[in-house]
């Protein structure tokens, strides 16, 4: 016996469609897909009252599409991020809900490889304050996880020694970064990059301009060593940081590859 959905069930749009179909919410999602933002930045980009932007951010947060994290540079402020993984899952479900023939299939790998052969190797610079954990993890993971040639670098505004837990967390992923040295961002001030990614709220607010007009994006991530404690106590925070960076890199690599 075939189970047929009732007309009332079929007429209710999936959650993603309900949330993303609103023009302002769609614009907010698009802006956050490029970089984490504060409310006042979104207000300026959208040219809409802060109360209206905050209301729609609240709707997106309630639907699980957007998350907020308190700024480490100014505790009175928050950065908003879009959960691209959840958006992807909901979009796939929404397409299948309309018709099973709309289920998304795999990307044409041959076409993607052909496109990559015709362009130069992209360059990415990851920045955080100390260049002792987050940016070093991002640099190593990008090179290791990319399915195409890419040049990744990292630096900090106030470099300090590579944290032992960053080395340990990466070693658990089969990547050795123990021989990497911390670098000051001044080493790269005259180099051109395709992408510059800040992973630290403090550095984001003092980040210099780089030549060549790179695509600049911000990932608001807490310093895994900020809570204090022994290396054993803080190690889980480094694992979480590496997990989040790897998740974000998946989408950054897709953006670079297109």
Catalytic residue list contains 3: no
Query: Global pTM?
Result: 0.84
Tokens of 104: 């998304």
Q: From the candidates 32, 42, 128, 140, which is the catalytic residue?
A: 128
The DSSP secondary structure of 191-211, one letter per residue, reads ---SEEEE--HHHHTTPPP-T
Please report the pLDDT score of residue 2 as a whole number.
44
**CA separation for the pair 125, 119 (Å, rounded):** 19
Q: Is 200 tagged catalytic?
A: yes
Gap between the Cα atoms of 23 and 30, Å rounded: 11
In the predicted model, what is the mean pLDDT of residues 204-216? 89
Burial class (CB in 10 A: 0-12, 13-18, 19+), 161: exposed
pLDDT at 102: 72
Give me 99's structure tokens.
Answer: 């018709």
Annotated active-site residue 207? The verdict is yes
Q: How far apart are CA 180 and CA 132, in angstroms?
A: 9
Short-list 153, 86, 94, CA closest to 123: 153
Residue-wise pLDDT for 110-121, tens only, equals 555 555 555 689
Lowest mean pLDDT among 10-19, 33-42, 51-60: 10-19
Query: Taking residues 47-76, what's their average pLDDT?
Result: 93
pLDDT-derived band at 6 (thresholds 50, 70, 90) equals very low
Structural domains present in the chain: 7-102 (1.10.10.10), 110-257 (3.40.50.2300)
List the beta strands (DSSP E) in the chain.
66-70, 78-82, 123-128, 151-156, 195-198, 215-218
Give me the helix-helix angle, 164-171 and 231-257, nearest 10°. 60
């Amino acid at each position: 016996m075939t189970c047929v959905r009732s007309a009332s069930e079929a007429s209710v749009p999936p959650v993603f469609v309900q949330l993303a179909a609103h023009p302002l919410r769609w614009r907010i999602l698009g802006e956050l897909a490029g970089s984490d933002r504060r409310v006042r930045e979104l207000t300026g980009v959208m040219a809409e009252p802060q109360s209206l932007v905050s209301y729609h951010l609240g709707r997106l947060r309630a639907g699980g599409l957007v998350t907020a994290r308190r700024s480490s540079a100014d505790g009175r402020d928050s950065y908003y991020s879009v959960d691209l993984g959840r958006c992807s899952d909901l979009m796939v479900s929404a397409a299948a809900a309309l018709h099973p023939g709309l289920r998304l299939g795999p990307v044409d790998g041959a076409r993607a490889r052909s496109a990559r052969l015709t362009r130069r190797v992209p360059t990415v610079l990851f920045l955080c304050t100390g260049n002792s954990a987050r940016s070093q993890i991002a640099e190593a993971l990008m090179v290791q996880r990319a399915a195409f040639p890419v040049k990744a670098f990292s630096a900090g505004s106030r470099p300090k020694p590579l944290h032992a837990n960053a080395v340990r967390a990466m070693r658990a992923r089969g990547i050795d970064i123990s021989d990497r040295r911390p670098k000051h961002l001044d080493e790269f001030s005259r180099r051109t990059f395709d992408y510059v990614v800040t992973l630290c709220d403090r550095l984001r607010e003092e980040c210099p301009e780089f030549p060549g007009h790179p695509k600049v994006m911000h990932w608001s991530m807490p310093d895994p060593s900020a809570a204090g404690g022994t290396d054993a106590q803080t190690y889980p925070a480094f694992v979480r940081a590496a997990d989040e960076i790897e998740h974000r890199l998946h989408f950054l690599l897709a953006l670079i590859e297109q």
